[in-house]
Chain A
Amino acid sequence: GESVGLHLPTLSVQEGDNSIINCAYSNSASDYFIWYKQESGKGPQFIIDIRSNMDKRQGQRVTVLLNKTVKHLSLQIAATQPGDSAVYFCAERGADGLTFGKGTHLIIQP
């Protein structure tokens, strides 16, 4: 089975609130993690990445946190907008390339 997974299949948030999407991984040897966003009918799109020697990385409105102790990854989206509605995947890089988690569907309520 897959070594990367997400805690919730669906996350519903109010527009303007912050969103937190979680991911658990099992391969402690993974050295690189990526978050992808997939909008309906489109391919996954790179959002932000983090290497295993870091515990936090910030982008524009997004922050990724990595807790290697508990093998947990999270994506925080500030001031969620309607355009953030999508399925979000975490992925880890191991010996065989990228392994994707199952995805969390982020729903934005007006």
Chain B
Amino acid sequence: DTAVSQTPKYLVTQMGNDKSIKCEQNLGHDTMYWYKQDSKKFLKIMFSYNNKELIINETVPNRFSPKSPDKAHLNLHINSLELGDSAVYFCASSPSYFYADTQYFGPGTRLTVL
């Protein structure tokens, strides 16, 4: 059973397009996250949601909009894609935010913007 799953695994698209990445966790966790990993493997948090509510929104362009329809899902929608958006995006979850010790990561979505 996959604890944290993401779709698609690979996404290749043109500049200016709009795309979405989906994330689901079956761990019963309250908190979910989106991270961006650049070509140098640096992991940077983008968003944190606790019980469907946004609690962290790092300095991310407003072209990125997370949506949490329920606490098991956190999707990431990106408008007007730019070359610099190319990266691997990881979804993660943890039991709760205030006890956010162990985060469980999904397999990642490699986004390539041409």
Partners in one complex: yes
Q: How far is the CA of A42 from the CA of B107 in the complex (A)?
A: 5
With contacts A96-B56, A97-B48, A97-B100 taken as known, whether A44 is within 8 angstroms of B42 at the C-beta atoms is no
Nearest neighbor of A44 in chain B, beta-carbon distance = B105
Q: Chain A: how many interface residues by the 8 Å CB criterion?
A: 23
In the assembly, what is the distance between CA of A103 and CA of B88, in Å? Answer: 15
Contacting A97 at CB < 8 Å: which of B42, B56, B102? B56
Q: Does B104 contact A (CB under 8 A)?
A: yes
Q: Give CA–CA (A87, B107) in the complex, Å.
A: 15
Would you call A46 and B103 a contact (CB within 8 A)?
yes
> Given the complex of chains A and B, what is the CA–CA distance between A62 and B45 in angstroms?
26
Q: Decide if A97 touches B107 in the complex (CB within 8 Å).
A: no
Other-chain contact of A2, B42, B100, B101, B102 (Cβ < 8 Å): B42
- Per the CB 8 Å criterion, the residue count for chain B at the interface is 23
A2 to B40, CA, bound (A): 14
Query: Complex: how many Å from CA A84 to CA B31?
Result: 29
Known contacts A93-B100, A97-B97; decide if A43 and B41 are in contact (CB<8 Å).
Answer: no
Nearest Cβ on chain B to A25's Cβ, whole angstroms: 15
Closest 3 CB pairs of A and B: A43-B105, A100-B43, A103-B41
A residues with CB within 8 A of B: 2, 32, 34, 36, 38, 41-46, 49, 87, 89, 93, 96-100, 102-103, 105
16 example contacts (A-B, Cβ-Cβ < 8 A) are as follows: A2-B42, A32-B101, A34-B101, A43-B105, A43-B107, A43-B108, A44-B43, A44-B90, A44-B105, A49-B101, A49-B102, A89-B43, A93-B100, A96-B56, A97-B33, A98-B100
Known: A32-B101, A93-B101. 8 other contacts (CB 8 A): A42-B107, A43-B4, A43-B105, A43-B106, A43-B107, A96-B56, A100-B42, A100-B44
